[in-house]
Amino acid sequence: MTAQLCPNCDHAALTQASSGILLCGNCGARIVQGRLQCPACQSINKLGVEMCAACGEPLTIVGRVLSRQGLQTRSQRLEQMRFRTGAIKEEERLSSDARMSGFVEIDRRRIEAEHESLLAQQALDKRLFRNVAIGLGLFLLFVAIVSLVIIL
Ligand SMILES: [Zn+2]
Ligand SMILES: [Zn+2]
């Protein structure tokens, strides 16, 4: 029995895995109706790609080696870049929200501090007023005593 030609790597290494699914003994591709199917998410990928464009699952032996070594194919990089750009935008939105609530927090603290210093000022004023009143009272008492002494 001659194995079928793999559309992904052109090697005659396709074997029937289950109904309608062919596995390539050479490149490891999973071929469904002449197309490359991701074993993880079932997405149909273009022939010749090493990793699934949808989920990044290695589709071929080359893809498995690349993903093990942390390497990526160009299409995979583009896919991830697109994903990250979305993630960055989301992050920016969140951090600007955080900045906003940071400003609100600073404003709240500033108002609180102002309020506290106002209270402290009022307390100081009260004490000062009391001291002046006592001083004035003592002075009047002193004047009264002196004038009494003079009169007598
Ligand atoms: Zn193959
Ligand atoms: Zn996938």
Tens of pLDDT, residue by residue over 8-47, are 888 899 998 888 889 999 888 999 888 899 989 988 998 8
Q: How far is the CA of 72 from the centre of ligand 1 (A)?
A: 19
Q: Is residue 7 part of a domain?
A: no
Contact 50, 38 (CB under 8 A): no
The total number of structural domains that make up the chain? 2
Which residues place a Cβ less than 5 A from the ion ligand 1?
6, 8-9, 24, 26-27, 29
Pair 62, 80 in one domain: no
Does the residue 102 lie in any domain? Answer: yes
1 assigned to some structural domain: no
Rounded to 10 degrees, the C-alpha dihedral 136/138/144/149 comes to -140
Tell me how far the alpha carbon of residue 44 lies from the centroid of ligand 2, in angstroms.
8
Segments forming the whole domain that contains residue 44: 14-72
What integer pLDDT is reported at residue 2 of this predicted model?
A: 59
- The pLDDT confidence band at residue 68, using thresholds 50, 70 and 90, is confident
**Same domain (yes/no): 145, 93:** yes
> How many other β-carbons are positioned within 10 Å of the β-carbon of residue 9?
20
Do 100 and 65 share a structural domain?
Answer: no
CA angle centred on 49, ends 78 and 2, rounded to 5°: 175
d(CA 23, CA 13): 8
pLDDT of residue 142: 94
pTM above 0.95, yes or no: no
- Cα-atom radius of gyration of the chain, to the nearest Å? 42
Asked if 53 and 96 sit in the same domain, the reply is no
**Closest to 15 in 3D by CA, of 33, 37, 30:** 30
**Are 116 and 67 part of one and the same domain?**
no
**53 Cα–ligand 1 center, Å:** 18
Neighbours of 129 (CB within 10 A): 10
Residue 39 alpha carbon to ligand 2 centre in Å: 7
